Amino acid sequence: MAANPGEDPTTRAEIEQLRDAGDHAELQLRLHKRIQFGTAGLRGRMAAGFSCMNALTVIQASQGLAMYLKNKHGDIASYGVVIGHDARYNSAKFAALAANAFIAQRIPVWFYSEPSVTPTVPFGVTQLHAAAGIMVTASHNPAQDNGCYFKNGAQINSPMDTEIAKSIEENAVPWPNAWKDPQPGEYLRAQAYDNLLLHYNTAVWQYATYTVREWKQPQPFVYTPLHGVGGLVFPGLCRSVGIKDFTVVPEQEHPDPDFPTVAFPNPEEAGALDLAMKTADREGKNLIVAHDPDADRFAAAEKVDGSWFIFTGNHLGVLLASHLFDSLETIDSDTRIAVLNSAVSTSMLEKMAVAKGMHYEEALTGFKWMGNIARKLEELGYYVPFAFEEALGYMFPEVCYDKDGISAAMVFLLAEAKWKAQGLTPYMKLQQLFKEHGHHETLNTYLRSPDADISMSLFRAIREGPFGAGKSFGSFKILRWRDLTEFYDSGTKDHKPTLPADKSSQMLTLWLDRGVRFTIRASGTEPKVKVYIESSGSSRDQAVAAVHDTFLTVLKEWVRPFASPMTWNEQQTTSSGHVFKVD
């Protein structure tokens, strides 16, 4: 049943303006299809209409989750939900509207009244033994976007997400008081954040110091929260434990929902750290630490031979893993240790874990998989210190079962101080790891797709083409072919993947000679087809050449014949900074 959007005069006026202008195409886009509930929540442009993020769609999603908890998990619903929000436009409003839905069902709400960093929500769910958590944020998306993420300590996974989506459809009409500000009462705990933040900061520091025998001061650094909420937490945490020799980029220090100094507030994007570099150059500092706007992702850069080297998520992942592995050498030899990363992240973690006699596990992309897998491994008796994905996400289960940029930054700084005492910088430590495990070069890029049908036609044509294990792929030979959509893997005894299949997504992984593995998949949240290429070799030049040749083969064999309406980025950059252009 459709709901009446008239309760919100802003969005109602927006729809009426489109109607009066006769813009039927835009009305169709806004009203015909509901915003998709996926990847543990909602994310999209803030605008009027059922396909966008607005007060109505937030109310509907929250009512659906509230009824799902009440009907399917009534035994734990009374434990309450944790609701936090970042500093984007409408985030506080959306969080308050979400709270109303749970209060209406007499489910207690641990409400974060102040703008909060995303990791404090899964941390709060675990600390308070809450039934669920909601974070209102669009993470690193542009200023016009927002989102609403649901968690159960880890992010919600299948089939729970499908069941919640059904419940949202069944509870689309706003309940009484849905549009009003939540009122103080038995079911609203409005002062939860200050207490939880204190406990969170303590947990982060205790975990970071646990990884070193005796912590030392890191080298002076520059910090940027990229106009996000990390600036409300991380500098204060550093100063409280005695780390004081750092500078916060003044233009980006305070939360600003317009993100005025960056084209795209994602530390992975070119130019995002430019102001931090200028600040560091001015002050003579050689290290940069950064968070994305909701502080669940962590980035770093180091000045090497006069130029700035920006670490990739894979670089930082193996650096943190190496540091943690060193700290585990004193652990009881009977303790079984497990680490994991996503299927599109570097294979170097597996090599490092095997060399240490640890269990390694591969996961599908996203922390909804890694958080829940970590919990299952713990139930089997493993100690799980760490997981990561290449998109600057790092998880430390002892703090929370989701990506956590605050913890990652603190662990990194104490690791950097340890390496400094050994005469190493993070970059030098990375090169040392490459010598030990092979030089790993990566290229992560994407095709812009006009629509989902064209993306589907690309994957259909690939599957119907003369490809597969044992076949040629340009100058390469295909050693292994895995198709998680069709649930096929030529590299296993029964030809079934060890990872779960997902008919609703598109994901192929190929292993080639010359140490190459690459994955092509359709994005679940953006009109893109993503490509992840990795090669490991005895030298940087060898690995770069293999990545370069793989990319050109993908372009020649698949993209040009099958996907001509799609467009690549104009310029491709490998993980070590090697640049080449698409002809």
Per residue in 518-568, pLDDT (tens digit) is: 999 998 666 789 999 999 999 999 999 999 999 999 989 998 887 777 777
Give strand ranges (E) for 108-162: 109-111, 132-136, 145-152, 154-155
State the pLDDT confidence band at 579, using cuts at 50, 70 and 90: confident
- The catalytic residue among 51, 62, 116, 139 is 139
Closest of 60, 64, 67, 54 to residue 94, by C-alpha: 54
Closest of 43, 223, 257, 236 to residue 150, by C-alpha: 43
Closest of 203, 179, 197 to residue 84, by C-alpha: 197
Active site residue 342: no
**pLDDT, averaged across the chain:** 91
Question: What number of other Cβ atoms are within 10 A of residue 276's Cβ?
Answer: 27
pLDDT the model gives residue 7: 76
Residue 185 is classified by DSSP as B
Over residues 496-507, the pLDDT tens digits come to 999 988 777 899
pLDDT the model gives residue 138: 83
Closest of 86, 375, 31, 364 to residue 232, by C-alpha: 86
Question: Beta 81-85 vs 109-111: how paired, if at all?
Answer: parallel
Most confident listed range (28-32, 148-152, 303-307, 444-448): 303-307
Over residues 165-186, the pLDDT tens digits come to 889 889 989 999 999 988 888 9
Residue-range domains of the chain with CATH: 5-190 (3.40.120.10), 199-204+220-313 (3.40.120.10), 326-436 (3.40.120.10), 438-581 (3.60.90)
pLDDT the model gives residue 569: 66
Over residues 98-111, the pLDDT tens digits come to 999 999 999 999 99
Residue 493 is classified by DSSP as T
pLDDT at 325 over 50: yes
Higher pLDDT, 379 or 144: 379
Over residues 137-158, the pLDDT tens digits come to 888 776 776 666 555 555 556 6
C-alpha pair distances (Å), 549 with each of 270, 332, 511, 555: 23, 45, 14, 10
Average pLDDT, stretch 326-348?
91
Q: Judging by beta carbons within 10 Å of its beta carbon (0-12, 13-18, 19+), is residue 453 exposed, middle or buried?
A: exposed
- Exposed e or buried b per residue across 318-333, where buried means at least 16 C-beta atoms within 10 angstroms of its C-beta: bbbbbbbbebbeeeee
Least confident residue range of 1-15, 116-130, 253-267, 484-498? 1-15
Output the six-digit token pair for 217: 């001061």
pTM: 0.92
Q: Is the dihedral of CA 262, 264, 266, 272 positive or negative?
A: negative
Over residues 454-496, the pLDDT tens digits come to 888 899 999 999 998 999 999 999 999 999 999 999 999 999 9
Average pLDDT, stretch 226-255?
98
pLDDT the model gives residue 574: 85
Q: At residue 511, what are phi and psi to the nearest 5 degrees?
A: -105, 125
Average pLDDT, stretch 183-201?
93
**H-helix or E-strand containing 426?**
helix 426-437
Q: Which stretches of 32-159 are DSSP H helices? A: 55-72, 74-77, 91-104, 120-128
pLDDT the model gives residue 402: 93
Task: For residue 336, give the amino acid letter.
Answer: R
Residue 440 is classified by DSSP as E
State the pLDDT confidence band at 386, using cuts at 50, 70 and 90: very high
